A and B are shown apart, each in its own frame.
Chain A
C-alpha cells in the first residue's frame, strides 16, 4: 500500500486507487495515515470530523466509516494466505489504527530524507545535503491534503507539514549557497521572497545570492523593501541577524564572500551574535 498526503490525498493498493470519494472517510483515512501503527483515539477522530459538537449518532456513524474503510482497504489488499486475519484497519481499546509500515506513507520518506539531509549538512557534506533536501521536496505534489476537508486536528498536521516544507526549502538553499550556486538561486529566491514577503530567512538568502553575484545594489534593495514592509505592516525592525548582514554588505565584509565557512549555520544566522 502507498499513501500520499504531500499533495492531493492518494492511496494505492496493487496499482488501484482506493481513495474514498466521500469527504468524511477521506478525513479519517488522512488522519490515520499520518500516524501509521499508532492508535488514534475515538475522541480525536470525532473532534476532527464534527468539532466540539458531535451529533448524537456520531459514534455509530464513525464506526460505519471505519468499517467501510476497513473493507475497502482490506479487500483491495487482495487475497492472502495467512491463516489469521491481520487487520489493516484494527480496533484497539478506544481507538483505531492503520497497521501499515510507516514507509508506506510519503511523509515518512520525506522526513527520513530531511533528517539525512540535516546530518549531511552538519557533517559538512553540502553536496549530499542539497541533493537529499531536493529529493525530499520532490515528493511534494502540491499543498498537503489539498483535496481533503480538514477539521481542527488535521489542520494542525497540515500547518506542521507546510512549515516543515518551507524550512526544508530554506535549508536546501543554504546548502546550495555553500556550494557557490548563488547565481542559479536568484530567480527562485525572487519568487520565494514575493510569496513570503515577511520571511527573513529567505530574504537573507536572496541578499547573499545577489551580493555574491556582484549585485550589491539589488541585495541592499531587498533589505530596504523588507525593512519598510516590516515597519509598515508589523511596526518592527528586521531582526538583528538581518540588520548585521546588511551592515556587513555596506562595509563590504570579506567574510561575505566565503561561500562555505567552517561555521555550519544557516544563511540567516551568518551574522548571529
Chain B
C-alpha cells in the first residue's frame, strides 16, 4: 500500500496547457482542471482548510498556520516533492464568495521568481463542480535542471492533490464519520529533554517498545526522518507502516505523516509534543486518521460497519501510542540525574 488514496485512472480528467512567453524572464504557466461530483462549497472547504491538508493530501506532510485574519493567511508547509521533504512559506488569500484561494510561495528553487497560483471552484450544478489549479513562476537565469525539477514536482503534486481532493469531496456525506481525531497523554515527573529524546530515537524502539518489531530509519536531512516500522497488531499480525517524521527540538514537537498506512486506514498523520510547565511535563500523542471504506469488509468481515472500523482503529492506535508514552515516561523518570 503505497498510495494513500486510490487513484481514479482512466478518466480523461486532466486538461493541461502550458504557455511559454519569450523574453529575458520566462514565465512558466500551467493549469489543471478536474471535474468533481460534489457541491462546489464542499470542494472549496477542503481547499480552504489547509491545516488539514496532511490528512487530505498524500504528499503533504505538515502545515503550520502562522497567521490568519479570516481572509489572509501565512502558512509554512512541508511537502514531499520528487521524493524529498521540502518546505516553503505560502501566503494565501481566501475568497469564499468567488470560491477562489490564491497563493504566493517564497523561493522554492533559486533563480525562479514569484511562484504563485490560484485554486478556483466553479459550480456546474448542485452536486457537480469544476476545480482548477493555475500555477506560474518566472525563470531568471535558473539552471535548466532546477526548472525541470520544479516543473516536474509541481505537475506531480498538482495531479496528486486534485485527485485526492476529488476523492474526498465525492465522499462528503460520510466525511465526518470517515475522519477521526484523538489524543493520548501522560504526565511525567522528569526532564522534558529525556521525553523528547526517547520519542526522537525511533531507531531504538524495537529494543524498548514491545509493539515495534523492526524499524528501518534514514535521516536524509537534519531532523527529517523516514521510518519504516513493522508494528504488531493486537491479533498478533504484523503491519508495515512508512512515515515521514519532522522533528522540531526547539518546540519539543515531532510531527509525523504516514506515507504507507496500516489496514483500514486511508490517511494518517499526527504529532508527539512535549509540553513542560511549572510542575512537570505533559507528553501528548495526537492523531488524525481517515478511514479506508474499501478495507472494512475484507478486514473486519462481512457486515462490518464504519463504526466497527472506527472503534478498531481508535483502539489500536490509541493502545500503541499509550504504550510508547508510558515508556517515554519511564525513560525520563528513571534516568539517573548526573549533577
Q: Which residues of A contact B (CB under 8 A)?
A: 15-16, 18, 21, 63, 67, 70-88, 90-91, 94
Considering the complex, give the chain B residue whose CB is closest to the CB of A59.
B278
A-B CB contact pairs (8 Å), 7 listed: A15-B106, A70-B251, A73-B251, A79-B221, A81-B219, A83-B201, A90-B276
Residues of B within 8 A of A85 (CB): 192-193, 195-197, 249-250, 252, 274
**CA gap between A163 and B206 in the complex, in Å:** 61
Question: Contacting A87 at CB < 8 Å: which of B89, B246, B252?
Answer: B252
Inter-subunit contact A77/B76 (CB<8 Å): no
With contacts A80-B223, A84-B193, A84-B196 known, is A73 near B106, CB below 8 A? no
With contacts A16-B89, A74-B253 known, is A80 near B219, CB below 8 A? no
- B277 interfacial by beta-carbon distance below 8 Å: yes
The 10 A-B pairs of least Cβ separation, nearest first, read A74-B251, A79-B223, A74-B250, A85-B196, A81-B222, A84-B193, A88-B250, A77-B250, A85-B252, A80-B223
- B67 interfacial by beta-carbon distance below 8 Å: yes
- B224 interfacial by beta-carbon distance below 8 Å: yes
- B14 interfacial by beta-carbon distance below 8 Å: no
With contacts A15-B106, A16-B106, A79-B223 known, is A91 near B278, CB below 8 A? yes
Inter-subunit contact A79/B276 (CB<8 Å): no
Inter-subunit contact B248/A77 (CB<8 Å): yes
**Complex interface bits, B41-62 against A, C-beta within 8 A gives 1, otherwise 0:** 0000000000000000000000
Inter-subunit contact A80/B76 (CB<8 Å): no
**CA gap between A21 and B69 in the complex, in Å:** 9
**Complex interface bits, B192-226 against A, C-beta within 8 A gives 1, otherwise 0:** 11111100110000000000000000010111100
**CA gap between A85 and B248 in the complex, in Å:** 8
Considering the complex, give the chain A residue whose CB is closest to the CB of B225.
A79
**CA gap between A255 and B219 in the complex, in Å:** 72
**CA gap between A78 and B253 in the complex, in Å:** 10
With contacts A75-B76, A85-B274 known, is A80 near B89, CB below 8 A? no
Question: Contacting A78 at CB < 8 Å: which of B201, B223, B277?
Answer: B223
User: For B193, B251, B252, which residue has the most chain A Cβ atoms within 10 angstroms?
Assistant: B251
Inter-subunit contact B192/A87 (CB<8 Å): yes
B39 nearest CB across to chain A (Å): 33
Considering the complex, give the chain B residue whose CB is closest to the CB of A86.
B249
- B247 interfacial by beta-carbon distance below 8 Å: yes
Residues of B within 8 A of A81 (CB): 219, 222-223, 247
Residues of B within 8 A of A76 (CB): 66, 76
Residues of A within 8 A of B76 (CB): 16, 75-76
Considering the complex, give the chain B residue whose CB is closest to the CB of A13.
B250
Considering the complex, give the chain B residue whose CB is closest to the CB of A79.
B223
Question: Contacting B252 at CB < 8 Å: which of A15, A74, A83?
Answer: A74
Residues of B within 8 A of A94 (CB): 278
**CA gap between A137 and B148 in the complex, in Å:** 46
Question: Contacting B248 at CB < 8 Å: which of A21, A80, A84?
Answer: A80
With contacts A16-B76, A81-B219, A83-B197 known, is A63 near B277, CB below 8 A? yes
Residues of B within 8 A of A67 (CB): 275
**CA gap between A82 and B250 in the complex, in Å:** 10
**CA gap between A76 and B193 in the complex, in Å:** 19
- B87 interfacial by beta-carbon distance below 8 Å: yes
Residues of B within 8 A of A82 (CB): 249
B114 nearest CB across to chain A (Å): 16
A253 nearest CB across to chain B (Å): 62
- B64 interfacial by beta-carbon distance below 8 Å: yes
Inter-subunit contact B274/A80 (CB<8 Å): no
Considering the complex, give the chain B residue whose CB is closest to the CB of A99.
B250
Considering the complex, give the chain B residue whose CB is closest to the CB of A66.
B277
Inter-subunit contact A83/B250 (CB<8 Å): no
Interface residues of B in 215-259 (CB under 8 A from A): 219, 221-224, 246-253
